Structure 1
Amino acid sequence: MLLGRPWGRCSPGRCVLFLILALLCDALGLVLLLLGILASLDYWDFLVYTGALILAFSLLFWIAWYSLNIEVSLEKLDL
Structure 2
Amino acid sequence: MGCSKIVGRCFPIFVIAIVFDVVGIVLLLLGIFAQLTYWDFFIYTGAIIISLSLIFWICWYSVNLEPSEELRLA
TM-score range, shorter chain: 0.7 to 0.9
Cα distance in 2 for residues equivalent to 1:58 and 1:50: 12
CA RMSD, Structure 1 to Structure 2 (Å): 1.3
Which blocks of at least 5 consecutive residues in structure 1 are unaligned?
A: 1-9
Find the aligned partners of 1:39 and 1:33 in 2 and give their Cα distance. 10
- Secondary structure in structure 2 of the residue aligned to 1:40: coil
Looking at structure 2, the residues matched to 54 and 33 of structure 1 have their Cα atoms a distance apart, in angstroms, of 9
Cα deviation for residue 72 of structure 1 reads: 1.1
Higher-helix-fraction structure: 2
The aligned residue for residue 16 of structure 1 is: 11
Tell me the number of residue pairs that the alignment of Structure 1 and Structure 2 aligns: 69
Q: Which of 24, 33, 44 is 1:29 aligned to?
A: 24
Where in structure 2 are there 5+ consecutive unaligned residues? none
Matched AA of 1:16: F
